[in-house]
Structure 1
Amino acid sequence: MCGFWRRYFFLKTLRGLRVLAYSPVTRPTIVPFDDFVLQEMMYAYKHPDTIKTDDEWIRWIFRLRRRERRHALEFVEGWSGTRIAIAGTTPWLASCLVGIIWSAARGNIQTAFTVAGFILTSSTVILAVLAIISSVESSNRAVT
């Protein structure tokens, strides 16, 4: 459904699903389902093998169908705390390891942690660019 780069390096993740109702003359409005129904929808989306029949979703959509109103499914994205934490911790950990290994192997602590600081700075810049690209990509997709 999404490419390799978006799946593993995008800092946002799918937070939920919403059903929107619209007609040819009105803007889309959110259909007020309770949280349990929305959680069931999200679970069924993430685990399609748990659905008992092949046409369960189709029957559900056709029960919503009316002549004057149509419905759409909206995918709600949000920042992933886990991905942000991993993306922030990895460069720090890598620079610490480089500093410790370099100083143990060569004996020069000042040079080792200068190189480690350079690694941390450059990887932080890369993370900032990744966050900007992630934000721009999601804002461009939100415009309809």
Structure 2
Amino acid sequence: MKKILFTAIFGLFSLLSYSQTTVSYHQSNLPFVGINTQLGERWLPELRIGTDNFVENLSLEVVGNYMVKSDEDKQIYLGLGGRLNLFEGVVVPLGINYYPFDKKDFGFHMEAAPIITFNNGALFRASFGIRYRFLKD
């Protein structure tokens, strides 16, 4: 599992130089920061790292999001991914990114994500936060 995660992280960072990159902060009871890159018209793979934790409880998530609907102001996505360390398991995010300003680089987002853990059952995480896109000219 760790080899798969390492390969996914390396692959994500190698793609950052070729596509639009976004950073985000998600506020919830399990807050995290994320970095993603858009691949083509529909795919948003994202690496997420838990925040507000002791280092030994630092959690990593790798999620592949598919944009169900996308226009200049908003993106609605559905995804599937994995989570390691605290609450290890499968993550199924459903969310919306909204960019209300004239320059479409800063925006807001909301997400609901069931986490199906391998040993603790399931929990439901809902988050909101901010997102910044590094737009290419």
Larger relative contact order (C-alpha < 8 A, sep ≥ 6)? 1
Using the size of structure 1 for normalisation, the TM-score is 0.22
State the structure with more CA Rg: 1
More strand by percentage = 2
Per residue, is there more helix in 1 or in 2?
1
